[in-house]
A and B are shown apart, each in its own frame.
Chain A
Amino acid sequence: MNGNDFAVRLDGVTKRFGKHTAVSSLDLEVPRGVIYGLLGPNGSGKTTSIRMIMGILHPDEGSVSLFGADADETRRHRVGYLPEERGVYRKMKCLDLIVFLAEIRGIPRAEGRRRGTMWLERLGLPEWGDKKVEDLSKGMQQKIQFIGTVIHDPELLILDEPFSGLDPINQDVLEEIVLDFHAKGTTILFSTHLMDQAERLCERVCLISRSRKVLDADLKELKAQERKGLVAVEFEGPDRWLLGPEVESMEHANGTTLLRLRDGADHQAILRRGVEAGATIYRFDLVEPRLHEIFVRHVGASAAEEAGVPQDVIRGAGVMGGAR
Chain B
Amino acid sequence: MSNVWAVIRREYLQRVRSKWFIFSTIAGPLFMIGVMVVPAMMATRSAEAERNIAVVDRTGVLYDRVAPRLEDAGYTVSRESWTSDVVPELTQEVTSDELGGFLVLDDETLATGRAVFYASSRPSPFRQLAIRSAVSRSALEKILDDHGMDSQSLMGGGELDVELLASGGAGEGDPRFVVAYVGAFFLYFMLLIYSVSVMRATLEEKTSRVVEVVISSMKPWHLMLGKILGVGAVGLTQMGVWLLSGGLAFSAGLPALVAARPELSSMESVSQYMPGVGLLLLFGGFFLFGFFMFSGLYAAVGAMCNTDEEAQQAQMPVTLLVVVPVLMLMPVIRSPGTTMSTGLSLFPFFSPILMFARVAGGGAPAWQVVLSFLLMALATVGVAWVAGRIYKVGILMAGKRPTLPELWRWVREA
Contact = CB atoms under 8 A, between A and B. Distances in A.
Interface of A: 54-57, 75-76, 79, 81, 83, 85-92, 96, 100-101, 103-106, 145, 148-149
Given A57-B396, A91-B14, A104 B210 contact: no
6 contacts: A83-B209, A83-B212, A87-B213, A100-B6, A101-B213, A104-B218
A56 B212 CA distance: 7
A106 B2 contact: yes
Contacts of B209: 83, 85-87
A56 B14 contact: no
A88 B210 contact: yes
Nearest to A145: B213
Contacts of A92: 10, 14
B212 A85 contact: yes
Given A103-B2, A104-B7, A76 B217 contact: yes
A75 B216 contact: yes
A101 B215 CA distance: 11
Given A76-B217, A87-B213, A104 B208 contact: no
B169 to A, nearest CB: 47
A54 B10 contact: no
A56 B396 contact: yes
- Give the 5 A-B residue pairs with the shortest CB-CB distance, closest first: A87-B209, A87-B210, A103-B6, A104-B3, A83-B212
Counting chain A CB atoms within 10 Å of each CB, the highest count among B6, B18, B211 belongs to: B6
B220 to A, nearest CB: 10
A87 B211 contact: yes
Counting chain A CB atoms within 10 Å of each CB, the highest count among B2, B205, B209, B212 belongs to: B212
Given A76-B217, A81-B213, A106-B2, A100 B10 contact: yes
A106 B218 CA distance: 10
A56 B396 CA distance: 7
B28 to A, nearest CB: 22
Nearest to A103: B6
Interface in B177-228: 205, 208-218
Contacts of B3: 76, 103-106
Contacts of A75: 216-217
Contacts of A100: 6, 10
Interface string B112-132: 000000000000000000000
Given A56-B212, A83-B212, A104 B14 contact: no
Given A104-B6, A106-B2, 16 more contacts: A56-B212, A56-B216, A56-B396, A57-B396, A75-B217, A81-B212, A81-B216, A83-B213, A88-B210, A89-B205, A91-B18, A100-B10, A103-B3, A104-B3, A104-B218, A145-B213
Counting chain A CB atoms within 10 Å of each CB, the highest count among B10, B205, B218 belongs to: B10
A88 B216 contact: no
